[in-house]
Structures are given as structure tokens and as C-alpha cells.
A and B are shown apart, each in its own frame.
Chain A
């Protein structure tokens, strides 16, 4: 598939994302019709002076729907792009940030900052708690991904067994520490911890969306330029060096950017598993394995998928909400099992 067709695919995915966003901001406890959405936009842009919407609808749109959908779009894009980039780097389509322990490393650090962060901040006399959560999750994600990489890579090849076992070990470690933290946390902190380990976009606000924006935007801009290099790495790290790529620099960059994505999403929405696994896989099945398409494509499709998943998770048991992590895991695990069976057939596990 050549570059021109790549662009068609990306445009098609963007249309899908637009539709997902429109559906997501309109559907909910307070229903907003599409023509009312249009009226809101044209009224605020000064194109029309006639308002066909109620002030309650406008308040819901501005204060609840928009920030939540924006968070969903950012986190979905972040998880999709991080998944595809990490899979390219590890040379394995099963390397998902959640599976190999990166997300739970981030969750552990987020939990630590929930329980101990308040004290630390009061000592320092600062109030940037949202940023602290982002920074802590990012730090956790980065430390674990570095550890996983060191343990699982030998001579430029991923030891897939080592990779998955390391993931299991780190997941177990992170969960047990998070469990320990529940004993010393207050009631409110406990609610926060549960919320984080299941994943939810329920806490979204303009503040949370704004606090992750830089963490997501930088990878979204830079990672698509790594497509060629990651294609070359799919031949082997030595081969990529022979083709003129500075593999060590690429590794560091991809790992740093992917952990920024995972850290940011954990900070706002907690553990959302399998999104980074399933989304790139769908792109590969549909349009081929070329990373020049898979990386930007996973960002857009990830955003669309997570927006729709969030819509499902807050609609099916309305007025209550399902944690989004449960929905993604329910949908993602069968796909994962299918992928494993394919890999076993190819004798790559």
C-alpha cells in the first residue's frame, strides 16, 4: 500500500473519529440532538442569533460532555499510539503497555502519590496535585518500561518469554503494593485507588484534560515520524543500524514518548487495559503492517474506539457507570487470546 492510500485510510479513520465524538457529546442522561449541537456551535461563533437549545443542555455540554470526550480522545490516542510504537520497538505485536507491566508501574506510582502526595504537597506548600499525579504516573511508567526493556532484550531480540514473565512479575508487584497502600489510606483515598485500578473517565474535567495535553501532544506529533525507523527495526536492530538508523537513540525516544502517553492516561483515567493491544492489531489486519500507517492510524482509531467505549460504559447501566477498564478488558481479552493462537501457529511464542 503506498503513501497515497495511507492518506485515504487516515482520512477515513478521522471521519470515524468525528462521528464518535458527535455521538458521544450528544448521547447521555441529558439528550442533545445533533441540530441543537450545531446550533450551540453556530450561536457561539456568532453565525446565528437563534438558540434552539436550553441553558441546561449548554451547561452539560460545556462542563461535562466536552471535557470528558476530550479526555477520552486524548487518552485513546495516547494508548493507541503507545501500543503501536512499543510493539514496533519490541518487535512483537503482543507487547502491550498493560501486559508487560508499564501501566501497572504507572498505577503504583499514581497510588503512592494519592496516598502520600497530599502530605508531600502540604510540606512543599504547593497545590499542583493534578500535575503531580501525571508526573508520578509518568515516572512509574518510565522506570518499569526501562526495567522491562533491560530484562527482555538480548542482542536486539525480544525474549518473548522473558518479556511476558517480567510483565507478570511487575503486575503482581504493583498490585500487591497497591493492596498494601489500601491499609494505610483514608476512605476517600481508598475510593480513588479502586477507581484508578479499574479505570474510568468519570473524573474528567477541563483541568484533567489540560494537565495531560502536553504529555499526549508531544508523542502524537513525534511518534509518527518514527514509522520508517520502526519498519527498519522489524528487520532486526543490527540490520537497522546497517541501514543508517541510530537504533539506540530511536529506542530511547520511543520508550520515553510511549511512557509519557501511558503515564498521562493512567494519571487521568487509571488502568485501561488492552486498548493499546487491540487497536494497532485492527489497523494491521485491515491495512497491513507498515508502521508509517500503523502508528498514526492507531492514534486516530484509538481515540475513536475509546470515545465509543466510554459512551458504552456510561450508557449500558445508566444512571450508574461501568468502569471503562472493565469494558476494554471484556472486549480486548478475546482478541488477545485469538492473537496468541495465531502466534502459536506461526511458532513465534
Chain B
């Protein structure tokens, strides 16, 4: 029994998200210690959760893409495009439910474009999504006449507000739900196993009859749908369609996924890790404000955490 416990514990330590989780908790303790009245409060926790939603949802899709050995630089642009499309559709008096479906569809289409280009043309994902990053951004600007679009949110904004009754804003529940589905799908469905296999060794996957092209297109599409969801929630937060929204979001998302233990060469990554990574970055931003540190300190802090998290992971994995 004792032996079992010990084995269980080392197993836990070996998880890729263990280091980042430790960082998350110890920073939490540190910030709470320095400014106990404000940082420790429930409201602050809720706010942090809400602020993490967009990055977290995008990081779910990005985890899949990165585990596949790919990358998606277009996610920020896809989110911005979705906020614009949602705002335009609301202006045109489309029913809110249809607007949400439209937002997810637009996101999914951007992913489908990425996946198809990567698969059909055999161009590296970095190049393809570098292209679509600019392409989608341009489309967002064109569709919005280069202006922010005010639209009556007609109830969509409630998704990111505290409900009258209930613990968390619906958006946070949606993100949690999406994360659980993504995590279970990755670890224990055939699709998830195929994703890992293709990322680990594409030749082997082909040899084993894995439909490599289909898996790849599906993963990018899925990432797109999640970007669309993030876009809808971003609109719910801001209540404007903003073509300049989420510039640089892709880097924050990639950072979250990498902090969470993913390898950019594919085959390795974790949904829990990505969530922890996303939370960690929000926590640093929030903590620095509460402690009263200026922005530049916070940026240095975030950068250092990324490098340290990945370096620790390497050290931990070294044999012997």
C-alpha cells in the first residue's frame, strides 16, 4: 500500500503540468501574502477566471494543433474576425442563437482553410497560418470598415457577466466544459490517440492505417471552432466587434500551451497544462497590479516564467 502511494506520487510529479501548477500555487501564495485584502478575495478569483477564458479556450485548440506537430498563428485574427462577424450579424437583427452558431462557423471555416492548405499543399503550418493571420485580419478590417462596431449584444453579454444566481459567469462554465471534453477526447478517444500518433511519428501513423490527412484537417477545424467560440465570448466581454482585437493573442496562447508542457515538435502536450499556463499568465498580470508593480516588471516576469517553466521541464526529464 505504502509502495503504491509512493509510486502514485512520483507519477504525479512526472506530469508535465506539475511544475507550472507549483508555480501557479506558489505565486498565488506570494501575492496573497503581499496584498491579502484584495488579491485573496473571491471576486478577484472570479475575475481572473473570466479574464482567462478567451486565452484558455484558444489554448485548447492550440494544444491539439501543437501536439499534431503544427502551429496556428492565425488564432488572434480569427478571434477578431469572429467579433466583427458577430457584431455585424447583431446589427442585422439576426437572432442571438443564430449569431452564436454563425460565430462558431466562421471560426471553424478559418480552421478548415488552415487545415486544408496545410494538408493539400503540404506547406508548413507556420507559413500557412502566418499567411492566414494577415488574411483574416484584413478580412476583419474590411468587414468592419476599419472601425469598431457597436452592436446591441441582445443577451450575449450575459455570458461573460456574473449571473444573478449561480457561481460563475456562463462563459467560464463553457470554457471548463470545453476543456473537459477536449481533455477526455485527447486522452481517451481514438481521435485523440490518432492526434498524438501523427504528432509523434507521422510515418508510423500512416503505417497503422491512421487517416492522417483527415485527422489534420479535423484538428485545425476544431481549433478554428474554438477560436470562434473564444471570439463570441470576446464579443460578450467587450460588446463591440473590434477588428484590432486580440493582436498578439496567438503568442499568449502558444506560451500557455508550451508552459503546460507541450513540445513544439509534436506528440507531447496536456490540456490541464495549457489551462494552468493560461491561468499563470493572468495571475502574473493581476498579481503585479495588486502589488502595484508597473507594467514593465510584469512583462519581464511573464517572460521569465515561460523560459523557466520550459527549462525546468527539460531538467526534470533528463535521465539519471
A and B found bound together? no
